[in-house]
Structure 1
Amino acid sequence: MNMLETQVDPAKTKTIIEYSSGSTVISMSMIARVMHGIEDTRAYLSNKTSEAKLRLMQFFGLDITLFGGPSQPEPFDERGGIQNARRKAMHSEEILNPNQYENDDNWQAHIRWTGPQIFKQLPEINVLCAGMGTSGTMTGLGTYFGKVKPSVVRLAVCTAPGDRVPGPRSFALLGPVEFPWKEAVDVIEEVNSPDSYSLSLDLCREGVVCGPSSGFNLQGLFQMLEKRKKAGTLAELAGPDGLIHSVFLCCDLPYQYIGEYFQKLSPEKFHPIRNERLARVDLYRYDESWERSPVVLFTRFYEPPRSLTQSLLSDIVLKSQCCILDLRTSADFSTWHLPGSVNIPLRSLDSHTPKPFSEPSVLEAQWLELEELFSDRDAVSRLHSHHVLAICYNGDTARVATSVLRAKGIEADSLRGGYQALRDHHLWGDGSISSTDRAYSPVAVPVEQTN
């Protein structure tokens, strides 16, 4: 906000460009849109940025350009994205590059706002801890507390050499930074990424929802306090009340870094996912309206019976443009089946098979078989102009089949409760079976039946 407040020219500025790892440029885009009416904010960033963060930036309406090379280029490296953004702005009055790496409004914002807010809430403060990225936060806060309360120990945290945490930089990369950070810092700690992610995870699980840079800051604070404790100088930090009032900055959220937590930390940090194999199957939607009661046989799929007899279900006639797919075994189909139905026996189903929604391995096997079966274009094309009813022993496998068929563009329903429901409703009959009713290969699914 501070950087845009003085630099945006209402008559000229139409585009904001900034090299940023994410949070800064997202904030810029919102402030530019809401406070300055600028819709076009462009983010320059490393090609090593996680997909989750890229999607987050797209979500907030940013125009993204990726750059190769180091993920944290030196601010004055002409080959990096920071200087590319700077050059772009130099060639057009309509483009503003706030350039957080060189803009004094960056660190002065923390003298203007962040420092006074902290001091108002905790005037007893003894230790202040912040990470070093652009160094703007620490420069501003360190400068502010150096004036209002010089006794505050100002701790800056850098990434360990050769390591990376989103946002902060290593001490070596701070060399070219021109902000007066050296005068604003008393102590420097170096923190590695596993400790940063681990402590962030612990904080989140205790209700302080924050990202790896926040865990990074707290780890730096813990390291400094531990060193003081071992050296016997910890008490020197205490205030008149004998307590050490410490402040560390929670400067990010964990959500865009979720994948990195699993990369950086050991599997023991996370509970395993039970039935994880189901994440790769049963991928299509379900709808309660696709599960039909036995009444549907008489209202949607069969012509009204001529008379009510004990052999009712053996005498009814299948309507044109309707198809009944029976998924039971060939043996059970031959014993009794609905008139005009087509038998597609599944390898993964018999009368003793557990229900797919109670046994994950059954669901996996049945879904994979149904997906393969109905991926046959010829078989599916024959069903496209028909209303399909899938039926099985208890209804659940037919429900899975309906989900797959609907995903392939077929109007399909399942019979809730399957053949067991027909038995429960006393609709099961031992009527004769037409000689034209037979079992069919799943490779070629006919839909025209003669009765």
Structure 2
Amino acid sequence: MSAQQYLNVYTGLDSLRNYWDPNKQPPLPLVEVPLSLNPFHQDGVRIYAKMMSALPANNVKALPAMHMLQSEKMTQGKIKTLVEYSSGSTVVSLGMIARILYGIEDTRAFLSNKTSLAKLQMMRFFGLNISVFGGPSQPEPEDARGGIYRAHKLAQDRDDTYNPNQYVNDLNWGAHMKWTGPQIIAQLPQINVFCAGMGTAGTMTGIGTYLKQAKPSITRVGVCTKPGDRVPGPRSHALLAPINFPWKQAVDELEECGSQDAYRLSMELSREGLVCGPSSGFNLQGLYNYLQKKKDAGAMKELSGDDGEIHCVFICCDLPYQYLDDYFVKLDERYFHPIQNSNLLNVDLHRYDEAWELEAPAAMSKLYSTTEIPIQCRPEWFLIDLRDTTDFESGHLPDAANWPLKSLARGGKSPFFESQVLEKQWLELESLFVSKNGNSEGRLKALNSPGHSVMILCYDGDTARVATSVLRARDIEAWSVRGGMLGYEFGHLLVSPINAGVAEQPQQPQQPQPSQIKVDGGF
């Protein structure tokens, strides 16, 4: 390996080709799991995760995809379209590698109509052309009604289309004979047990075959799903029957694993720093099951090597993110911390901007001209005071309209420090400004008058800030005053029955003309 490859640097016109080439990459990490995930540590067991998720495509299928795209048919230069039946990882990897190696942009994914929306969107994100099919999510390769056969038939009928067909293509498992198996032996020559799930069975066939040739004493554990219990990737034992790869010769022991254990262990691995998807947890649980059987039979020593320890490797296949919704279906709430202030998830949904919150002097300069006596609000501004009517009547700014909120009171908690307050105030503001009944509709239309802006006031400025967000979401140019009526000395401007006779203030607040706003209880 060159110094550049050792440093994991890929440059020049062939940078992506080299980055994806397993022969030019450092070995993928082999990481021993923490003690919290090794219940057999006291029995001399060491457990290691082979992080296939560290491949450029973040999934184990990148290697078979690379190998299948190095076939003679691809190198002839006639192929313009790829088509593959795949639940995600294989066809995503094929799409990226086809672009890099051959400039092919038309990769078509055939898959089950039972595929999650998250996976479908992921494949669309990677530029795949998607067709979904009914029937079993894991059809038999030779079933003419299924998507696997349909992909094969499409390629058979078109000279410019290639179907790698991971289910029958020996280059699938050959990739792991060529790359993964040798890496594991080089990294951990003392390996005693290898464990992997089986879907197409390519991973288990390739690695298992190589490891047995390199070290005949090794035990190879294949893992299947329990009948009727689905985990993305692996299959039940019955569904492996149509697979023609020599997987039976690559497996010494078979285990079954359920989906709940798969998702739980995947989550625990991820939390400990080995970020991986459910099929990785599935593989680890299969290893646990096998080791527990040996322990119960008093046969653990049969597995140990010359150093007296039992070194076990399982495969981490991909990442958890595309399956996140499934974790909350498979696992109950005891595995997750509750969301604090969850009542806010359905309220306060609009954006905020610090520029919409003005200091009081700046707000006053927008609202009023200090050269005019009596002081009047500029005609292009509407001023709304959300305080209680009693407080409003005891003193308010000239030309302000009082639209009191039931959820707002002097001395009340800020909506940004009490989630229940924010919930109540946002819902009330939505109703006040947005609802299409009563005065709200009229108010909203009036506030949306062309060429006008709205200034919102409250006690401390925080509720007005929420109101500004609500109005801005309706394309109304609204502003709030930081600190509100309590945060600034407005005494020289206040209008009230007590000081209405002061010469510098108007006897009554200036009311906008009916053409501006005429709403009951408002301007």
Q: Per-residue displacement from partner, 1:75-129 (whole Å, max 9, x unpaired)?
A: 2222222112112222212222111111111011111111111111111111111
Match of 1:128 among 185, 194, 199: 194
Match of 1:338 among 397, 402, 418: 397
Partner of 1:15: 81
Partner of 1:441: none
Partner of 1:379: 443
Question: Hey, what's the Cα distance between the residues in 1 that align with 2:354 and 2:492?
Answer: 24
8 Å contact 2:398–2:509 — kept in the other structure? Answer: no
Match of 2:301 among 214, 232, 235: 235
Question: Hey, what's the Cα distance between the residues in 1 that align with 2:206 and 2:491?
Answer: 78
The answer as to 2:375 corresponding to 1:316 is yes
Match of 1:159 among 225, 238, 248: 225
Question: Hey, what's the Cα distance between the residues in 2 that align with 1:283 and 1:336?
Answer: 33
Amino acid at match of 2:359: S
SS of equivalent residue, structure 2 residue 207: helix
Amino acid at match of 1:159: T
8 Å contact 2:376–2:398 — kept in the other structure? Answer: yes
SS of equivalent residue, structure 1 residue 5: coil
Deviation at 1:298, TM superposition (A): 3.5
Question: Hey, what's the Cα distance between the residues in 2 that align with 1:256 and 1:48?
Answer: 15
Partner of 2:67: 2
TM alignment of 1:36-55, pairs within 5 A: 36-55=102-121
Please identify, of 2-11 and 18-27, the stretch whose mean Cα deviation from structure 2 is larger. Answer: 2-11
Question: Hey, what's the Cα distance between the residues in 1 that align with 2:371 and 2:161?
Answer: 77
Partner of 1:253: 319
Question: Hey, what's the Cα distance between the residues in 2 that align with 1:358 and 1:445?
Answer: 35
Please identify, of 45-54 and 149-158, the stretch whose mean Cα deviation from structure 2 is larger. Answer: 45-54
SS of equivalent residue, structure 2 residue 472: helix
Q: 1:420 to 1:68 in 2, by over 3 A?
A: same
Amino acid at match of 1:380: L
Q: Which 5+ residue runs of structure 1 have no aligned equivalent?
A: 308-314, 439-443
Deviation at 1:445, TM superposition (A): 6.6
Match of 2:365 among 280, 283, 299: 299
SS of equivalent residue, structure 1 residue 227: helix
SS of equivalent residue, structure 1 residue 154: strand
Partner of 2:459: 393
Partner of 2:410: 351
Please identify, of 23-32 and 280-289, the stretch whose mean Cα deviation from structure 2 is larger. Answer: 23-32
Question: Hey, what's the Cα distance between the residues in 1 that align with 2:121 and 2:96?
Answer: 16
SS of equivalent residue, structure 1 residue 8: helix
8 Å contact 1:135–1:181 — kept in the other structure? Answer: yes
Q: Per-residue displacement from partner, 1:123-173 (whole Å, max 9, x unpaired)?
A: 111111111000001111111122111111111000011100000000000
The answer as to 2:426 corresponding to 1:367 is yes
Deviation at 1:374, TM superposition (A): 2.1
The answer as to 2:141 corresponding to 1:75 is yes
Partner of 2:352: 286
Match of 1:175 among 241, 256, 281: 241
8 Å contact 2:376–2:510 — kept in the other structure? Answer: no
8 Å contact 2:400–2:509 — kept in the other structure? Answer: no
Question: Hey, what's the Cα distance between the residues in 1 that align with 2:491 and 2:329?
Answer: 55
Q: Per-residue displacement from partner, 1:203-226 (whole Å, max 9, x unpaired)?
A: 111111111100000100010011
Aligned residues: percent identity?
Answer: 56
Aligned residues: CA RMSD: 2.1
Question: Hey, what's the Cα distance between the residues in 2 that align with 1:132 and 1:122?
Answer: 22
Please identify, of 185-194 and 50-59, the stretch whose mean Cα deviation from structure 2 is larger. Answer: 50-59
Deviation at 1:305, TM superposition (A): 3.3
8 Å contact 1:196–1:212 — kept in the other structure? Answer: yes
Deviation at 1:68, TM superposition (A): 2.0
Question: Hey, what's the Cα distance between the residues in 2 that align with 1:292 and 1:446?
Answer: 27
Partner of 1:312: none
SS of equivalent residue, structure 1 residue 86: helix
Aligned length: 438
Deviation at 1:371, TM superposition (A): 1.4
Deviation at 1:201, TM superposition (A): 1.1
8 Å contact 1:10–1:36 — kept in the other structure? Answer: no
Deviation at 1:428, TM superposition (A): 5.2
Q: 1:295 to 1:246 in 2, by over 3 A?
A: same
Question: Hey, what's the Cα distance between the residues in 2 that align with 1:53 and 1:391?
Answer: 47
SS of equivalent residue, structure 2 residue 323: helix
Q: Per-residue displacement from partner, 1:267-308 (whole Å, max 9, x unpaired)?
A: 10001111111010000111111000111234322223347x
Amino acid at match of 1:184: A
Deviation at 1:414, TM superposition (A): 0.4
Q: Which 5+ residue runs of structure 2 have no aligned equivalent?
A: 1-65, 501-505, 512-516
Q: 1:215 to 1:423 in 2, by over 3 A?
A: same
Deviation at 1:13, TM superposition (A): 1.4
